[in-house]
Amino acid sequence: MDVLNTMVGRGHEQVTMYSDPESGLKGIIAIHDTTLGPSCGGTRMWPYATEQEALTDALNLSRAMTYKSAAAGLHLGGGKGVIIGDPRTDKTEALLRAWGRFVDTLGGRYLTTTDVGTTGRDLEAVRQETQHVLGLDVTLGGSGDTSVMTGLGIYMGMKACASDVWGADDLRGRTVAMQGFGKVATHTAEHLIEEDVRIIATDINEMALDRARQMGVKVVGPDEIYDIDCDIFAPCALGGVINTQTIDRLRCSIVAGGANNQLATAEDGEELHRRGIVYAPDFLINAGGVINASAEIGQPYNPDRSRQQTERIYEQMSAVLTTSRKQEISTARAADILAESRLDSVRRMRRIWRG
């Protein structure tokens, strides 16, 4: 990859790499855009096969965070941290504290929280080395587990899509196929179960499948999930799962889930639109986590305020659906327009102030 040209082409401001031989840390922080405020995004720890794969993930995820915060009305930019390693075997206090020192060198341009492979307990170690951490446990003055509000936001996004497709946002009796049953999917499922939704799920983690079974969720194999006859297909694992190979297999009216960067390419969003499948743009409906974390900034955390703002995802999704229909464009493009219009307006305002 030609890193600098890729950064320029996608609007990235900064990419920083860091290593700590003593702890074994190899990490990357990508800052996409700080027009609206300091960049914010979780730290992901994953056993990437190559450094190229880790860099690509950091670039893609940081850009998505810019759009997520912009669409949600937050005063934050987009950033992402990735650590190359297996969180089950490579994670140590020394590594996490080294990561904290890395984050601290950026002087607040990047605020970190949890993501795939990291937990609230991990943040406590990171916090020993830097103040630029969000999402600590509520007992430590933080906003706690970001997956709770993320799950709520996805549920609200599903209901907004249901209203558009079926004329009512009641999900009772509907079937949702969930690809991945981690923390976010679990919290989403809790809301769905309360509404008597039938859930069919898959995951590569046996503990996640056991949790699903205990909740009364039917479990299928990882590859079977695409062929389930359902009302809503919910990608809740890693990205790129909506692509030319999988779209043909989908048997749903709506795609709405918690995974980041669900579309392998922008064209896949257009293809869903052509086929009449309503897509809930991931950065729009999975914004509950960053909304929750942002509620810590500059004031005591208030869970009611966080919940109210997360519930507005319903309105934002409805607005995107309306734009999609009026302009005859995909929901993916309509959501981009929503985020880009806010970024552009702030940039124009800054140029005016500077004379």
Mean of per-residue pLDDT scores for the chain: 95
Q: Respond yes or no: is residue 80 known to be catalytic.
A: yes
Look up residue 34 and give its amino acid: T
Of the candidates 133, 116, 114, 67, which has an alpha carbon nearest to the alpha carbon of residue 296?
133
Domain that holds residue 257: 147-341
CA angle 46, 51, 55 (to 5 degrees): 80
- Name the percent of the chain lying above pLDDT 90: 88
Average pLDDT over residues 344-352: 88
Residues 73 and 219 in one domain: no
Residues 309 and 244 in one domain: yes
**Contacts of 82 by beta carbon, 8 Å cutoff, 6+ apart:** 27, 28, 43, 44, 45, 46, 48, 54, 57, 58, 61
pLDDT reported for residue 153: 98
Whole-angstrom distance, CA of residue 268 vs CA of residue 38: 31
Q: Which residue has the tokens 């005063």?
A: 75
* Residue range 315-333, pLDDT digits in tens: 999 999 999 999 999 999 9
Residues 123 and 45 in one domain: yes
Q: Find the range with the poorest average confidence among 44-48, 109-113, 134-138, 162-166.
A: 134-138
Of the candidates 98, 127, 146, which has an alpha carbon nearest to the alpha carbon of residue 260?
146
Is residue 352 in a domain?
A: no
Please report which confidence band the pLDDT of residue 254 belongs to, taking 50, 70 and 90 as the band edges. Answer: very high
Residues 67 and 183 in one domain: no
Please report which confidence band the pLDDT of residue 350 belongs to, taking 50, 70 and 90 as the band edges. Answer: confident
pLDDT reported for residue 355: 62
- pTM of the complete model: 0.90
Residue 354, pLDDT above cutoff 80: no
Residue 346: Cβ within 10 Å count: 15
Residues 282 and 244 in one domain: yes
Listed residues 101, 133, 165: the one ending a domain: 133
DSSP string, 33-83: E-SSSSEEEEEEEE--SSHHHHHHHHHHHHHHHHHHHHHTT-S-EEEEEEE
Is residue 353 in a domain?
A: no
Residue pair 183/119 in contact (Cβ under 8 Å)? The answer is no
Look up residue 297 and give its amino acid: I
Look up residue 320 and give its amino acid: V
Q: Collapsing DSSP states into helix, strand and coil, what is residue 134?
A: coil
Residues 184 and 119 in one domain: no
DSSP string, 201-233: EE-S-HHHHHHHHHTT-EE--TTGGGG-B-SEE
- 245: burial class by Cβ within 10 Å (0-12, 13-18, 19+)? exposed
Count of domains for the chain: 2
Which of 26, 68, 80, 183 is flagged as catalytic? Answer: 80
Distance of alpha carbon 31 from the chain centroid: 16
